[in-house]
Amino acid sequence: MNNKHRKTLDAIFIEPALSNIAWSDIESLLIAVGAQRFEGNGSRVRFLLNDVKATFHRPHPQKETDKGAVVSVRRFLEAGGVKP
> What does the pLDDT look like over 54-82, one tens digit per residue?
999 999 899 999 999 999 999 999 999 99
Domain count, the chain: 1
Instruction: Give 45's contacts (C-beta < 8 A, 6+ positions apart).
Output: 27, 37, 38, 39, 55, 56, 57, 58
Domain holding 28: CATH number? 3.30.920
Q: Is residue 84 part of a domain?
A: no
Q: Is residue 25 part of a domain?
A: yes
Cα–Cα distance for residue pair 78/66, rounded to 1 Å: 19
pLDDT band at residue 1 using 50, 70 and 90 as cut-offs: confident
Which pLDDT tens digit goes with each residue over 33-49?
A: 999 999 999 999 999 99
Q: Is residue 57 part of a domain?
A: yes
The whole-number pLDDT of residue 34 equals 97
Q: Is residue 22 part of a domain?
A: yes
